[in-house]
């Protein structure tokens, strides 16, 4: 344990003229669930997008399993073992559930492995199996979230990035989704979770970072942050 | 009986012409679908395809099918080169810059071709003589059978590629949401390049078929069919593959009926009247839907 999987070192990221991330550093150890919490617009999604290679940092480095992946293209980073469930799920609405899952395995060529992982995803999300031939756009919000997660798992990632998995879902469903995230982690996938629902995120994470207007302002064990007065006031509703 | 026969005859003519429009419109719509660019150079790619076919038949003395294959491959590569050199550097530029570049590429192809092959129209050799089937007074000639046959084969192949192959699925994913496709590990630049290759190859086949059908080709022959195919793509719903085919066929049939029963002078006017009508009544086209985003 305690081997560093992902190391972000002082990255600066810009959206045009907007300085979105200012010297952000964080790390994720193998086997952990780490959560990044913060208000809307703090730069949480930007951080995940930068790790995935959709944005390139102006300065700083990102190291994954000992290799520098800064500035690598998004499709190459997937091959390295980082998979993302993007904000708003972004399923391919005009394709079937099955095709969405197949696309998740795009980088792989091991047919037998893909088939067994597909069964694994169907076992985890039985509703997807029932709807495998249905167009993804016709699924409910919760089912789309499950599809987006199943799709990300199909690349057999070492590190799973989740961007706001609770967004727009009913409380009962949120509970279900978070249980699944904890399960996925238990079975060996490291997770970096971005959430506005700080309560839920802190309840399953081992460590947490708080992001405020592009800077990390707090970090530590999830339990400690959940107990901290500042965090309670700002993010946990008192 | 006389009138019915005439209508049926014009339908055959219209479907033949419409198949050509459909082949060009498919490339238009595929390229629009994947990078949201109205590729105004597409008609000129079709012209280059026609010339490559012409030279394969007349200079190299090859048959129709080998010539079609050579034109298809070479023109496909040309389309990929155009994308690589002219459009890819502008991937993150405003769309208007890419559109203007497309017009530039169009002129470049037209006048470079003119320099090399001269502006004089070339006559395609007659390949079929008088082969024709007469079915109850309705005549289908050899060229028309070739057009219908080749188009049908290409549609089947294209449908297979887009629906069944891994590359086809990646094309659909990239055209729906490029960024998320990248997150699947899809190299979108490569997929865009392949899309240009396939679209250009289809246009090349249309070019050679038109050469065979009308016997004559010239360096500016791509302008009008390029615009018509654009109308066909918009009519069917731009970005939608079956839409391009149906749009092309409707356009061809309307043009044939107008030429046959009114006057061929109004043929082009009819095509563009359709464009105006579609834009007024149903801007998303026959197969288009208003996209709603689920939050």
Please give the pLDDT value at position A238. Answer: 58
A116 domain-assigned: yes
Domain end among A155, A189, A210: A155
Inside any domain, residue A86: no
Q: Which of B172, B183, B295 sits opposite A88 (nearest CB)?
A: B295
Q: Per 3-state DSSP, what percentage of chain B is helix, strand, and coil (rounded to 5)?
A: 75, 5, 20
Nearest by CB to A102, from B169, B181, B185: name it. B169
Residue contact A73–B187, C-beta within 8 A = yes
Which member of A78, A99, A168 has the closest CB to residue B169? A99
Q: Is the separation of the CB atoms in B266 and B273 below 8 Å?
A: no
Exposure string for B18-57, b = 16+ CB within 10 A, e = fewer: bbbbbbbbbbbbbbbbbbebbbbbbbbbbbbbbbbbbbbb
State the best of B163, B167, B185, B186 to mutate against chain A, taking most chain A CBs within 10 Å.
B185
B184 closest CB neighbour out of A53, A54, A106: A106
Mean pLDDT of the B189-194 span: 98
**B247 contacts B235 by C-beta, under 8 angstroms:** yes
Determine, for residues B173 and A73 on separate chains, whether the beta-carbon distance falls below 8 Å.
no
Residues B59-105: tens digit of each pLDDT: 998 999 999 999 999 999 999 999 999 999 999 899 999 999 999 99
B149-177 per-position pLDDT tens digit = 999 999 999 999 999 999 999 999 999 99
Do A64 and A163 reside in the same domain of the chain? Answer: yes
Q: Are residues A74 and A25 in the same domain?
A: yes
Whether residues A34 and A67 share a domain: the answer is yes
Same domain, A69 and A172: yes
The reply to whether A77 and A173 lie within a common domain is yes
Contact A95 B183 (CB under 8 A): no
Count of CB atoms situated within 10 Å of the CB of A221: 13
Q: Which of A155, A172, A188 is the last residue of a domain?
A: A155
Give the CATH number of the domain where residue A190 resides: 3.40.50.300
Residue in the block written with tokens 């998320």: B180
- Which two tokens mark B84? 């690589």
**Per-residue pLDDT at A185:** 97
Q: Are residue A123 and residue A142 in the same domain, yes or no?
A: yes
Give the list of residues 6+ apart from residue A191 with CB closer than 8 angstroms, or none.
A32, A33, A34, A159, A160, A161, A162, A181, A184, A185
B→A interface, C-beta within 8 Å: 166, 169-170, 172-173, 176-177, 179-188, 294-295
Q: Are A150 and A175 part of one and the same domain?
A: no
In terms of domains, do A8 and A36 share one? yes
Residues of chain A in Cβ contact (below 8 Å) with chain B: 52-54, 73-75, 78-79, 83-84, 86, 88, 90, 92-95, 99, 102-104, 106-107, 137, 141, 144, 151, 155, 168
What torsion, rounded to 10 degrees, do the Cα atoms A18, A191, A221, A13 define? Answer: -10
The last residue of one of the domains, among A108, A140, A155, is: A155
In whole numbers, what is the pLDDT of chain B averaged over residues? 92
What is the average per-residue pLDDT within B258-279?
90
Which candidate from A74, A141, A144 shows the least CB-CB separation from B182? A74
pLDDT for res B134: 81
The answer to whether residues B191 and B170 touch, using CB atoms and an 8 Å cutoff, is: yes
- For the entire predicted model, the pTM comes to 0.92
Q: Evaluate whether residue A192 is within a structural domain.
A: yes
- In which band, very low, low, confident or very high, does the pLDDT at B221 lie, cut at 50, 70 and 90? very high
- Determine the structural domain holding residue A72 and report its residue range: 4-81+157-235
């Amino acid at each position: 344990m305690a081997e560093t999987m992902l190391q972000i070192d002082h990255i600066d990221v810009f959206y045009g003229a907007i300085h979105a991330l200012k010297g952000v550093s964080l790390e994720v150890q193998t086997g952990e669930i780490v959560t990044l919490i913060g208000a809307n617009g703090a730069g949480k999604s930007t951080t995940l997008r930068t790790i995935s290679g959709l944005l390139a940092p102006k300065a700083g480095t990102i190291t994954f399993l000992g290799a520098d992946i800064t500035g690598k293209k998004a499709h190459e980073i997937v091959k390295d073992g980082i998979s993302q469930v993007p904000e708003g799920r972004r399923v391919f609405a005009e394709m079937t559930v099955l095709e969405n899952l197949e696309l998740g395995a795009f980088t792989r060529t091991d047919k037998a492995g893909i088939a067994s992982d597909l069964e694994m995803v169907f076992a985890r999300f039985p509703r997807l199996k029932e709807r495998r031939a249905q167009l993804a756009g016709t699924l409910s919000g919760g089912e789309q979230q499950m599809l987006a997660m199943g799709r990300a798992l199909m690349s057999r990632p070492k590190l799973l990035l989740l961007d706001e998995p609770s967004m727009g879902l009913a409380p009962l469903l949120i509970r279900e989704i978070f249980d699944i995230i904890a399960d996925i982690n238990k079975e060996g996938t490291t997770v970096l979770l971005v959430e506005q629902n700080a309560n839920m995120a802190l309840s399953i994470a081992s460590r947490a970072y708080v992001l405020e207007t592009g800077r990390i302002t707090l970090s530590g064990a999830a339990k400690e942050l959940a107990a901290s007065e500042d965090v309670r006031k700002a993010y946990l509703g008192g | 009986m006389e009138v019915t026969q005439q209508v049926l005859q014009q339908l055959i003519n219209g479907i033949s012409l419409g198949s050509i429009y459909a082949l060009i419109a498919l490339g238009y719509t595929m390229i629009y679908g994947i990078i949201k660019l109205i590729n105004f150079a597409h008609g000129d790619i079709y012209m280059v395809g026609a010339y490559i076919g012409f030279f394969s038949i007349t200079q190299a003395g090859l048959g129709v099918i080998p010539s079609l294959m050579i034109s298809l491959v070479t023109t496909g590569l040309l389309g990929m080169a155009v994308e690589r050199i002219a459009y890819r550097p502008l991937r993150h530029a405003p769309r208007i810059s890419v559109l203007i570049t497309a017009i530039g590429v169009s002129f470049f192809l037209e006048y470079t071709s003119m320099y090399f092959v001269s502006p004089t129209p070339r006559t395609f050799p007659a390949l079929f003589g008088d082969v024709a089937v007469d079915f109850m007074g309705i005549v289908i000639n050899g060229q028309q059978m070739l057009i219908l046959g080749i188009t049908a084969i290409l549609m089947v192949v294209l449908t297979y590629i887009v629906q069944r192959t891994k590359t086809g699925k990646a094309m659909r994913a990239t055209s729906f949401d490029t960024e998320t496709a990248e997150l699947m590990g899809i190299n979108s630049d490569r997929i865009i390049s392949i899309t240009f290759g396939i679209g250009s190859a289809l246009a090349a086949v249309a070019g050679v078929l038109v050469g065979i059908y009308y016997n004559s080709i010239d360096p500016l022959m791509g302008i009008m069919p390029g615009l018509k195919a654009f109308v066909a793509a918009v009519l069917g719903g731009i970005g939608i593959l079956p839409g391009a085919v149906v749009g092309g066929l409707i356009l061809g049939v309307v043009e044939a009926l107008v030429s046959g029963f009114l006057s061929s002078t109004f043929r082009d006017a009819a095509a563009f009247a359709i464009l105006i009508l579609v834009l007024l009544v149903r801007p998303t086209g026959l197969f288009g839907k208003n996209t709603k985003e689920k939050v």
